[in-house]
Amino acid sequence: MSFAEIILIAIGLSMDAFAVSVTIGLSLRKPKTKEYIIPGLYFGIFQALMPFIGYCTGIFFANYIRDLDHWVAFVLLSLIGGKMIKESFSKEEEKQGENLFLCAKMLLLSIATSIDALAVGITLAFFETDIITAISIIGITTFLVSIIGVKVGHICGIKFRSKAEFFGGAVLIIIGFKILIEHMFF
């Protein structure tokens, strides 16, 4: 997988974290520096950890399904992207005034926003991607995007949440199609 593709995957994966960060930003009256950093750290670490776990799992299975890896990548990325696009149309709103910075709540949010990264990690294993580079890019991108999300949420409100999820989902689906087309025709 190319460096550009990893960057696009990182951006796509970070959109869930961005959407949650926006809702966190909505609940803050006067955000302190640590309230920008905490979501970025949690989301960034989990978005890097989950692909690593998926990669380790995928390495085990990669040799067994090498002839089908492009189909597996296409299906996984399309399912994840489709789920994100579907969620972008949801009217579900986060509770305002809720303390989201409690460790247990941040852990749950981090796991919820990074489950899709587990499947992406499996895909990375099929293409023998340099996992250290990939998870570093994914983690740093998510960290930065989450900080931006808290700021956007604080300033602009919820109107960007659904657009971010839709964009992230679309990027993952496009990458899935690209992988499929490359393996079938090139």
- Please work out, in degrees rounded to the nearest 5, the angle formed at the alpha carbon of residue 63 by the alpha carbons of 61 and 69: 75
User: Which pair of tokens denotes residue 49?
Assistant: 């950890």
112 vs 57, higher pLDDT:
57
pLDDT-derived band of residue 95, with 50, 70 and 90 as boundaries? Answer: very low
Mean predicted confidence (pLDDT) in 75-96: 71
Question: What confidence tens digit (pLDDT) does each residue in 22-40 have?
Answer: 878 877 778 889 999 999 9
Measured from the Cβ of residue 68, the count of other Cβ atoms closer than 10 Å reads 12
- Residue in 144, 149, 167 with CA at minimum distance from that of residue 87: 167
| Domain ranges for the chain | 3-185
Q: What is the pLDDT of residues 123-165, one digit of tens each?
A: 888 888 999 999 999 999 999 999 999 998 888 755 566 676 6
Give CA–CA dist 5/26, Å, rounded: 32
> What pLDDT is attached to residue 97?
46
Q: Give percent above pLDDT 90 in the chain.
A: 30
Does the pLDDT value for residue 60 go beyond 60?
A: yes
- Asked if pLDDT for residue 70 goes beyond 80, the answer is no
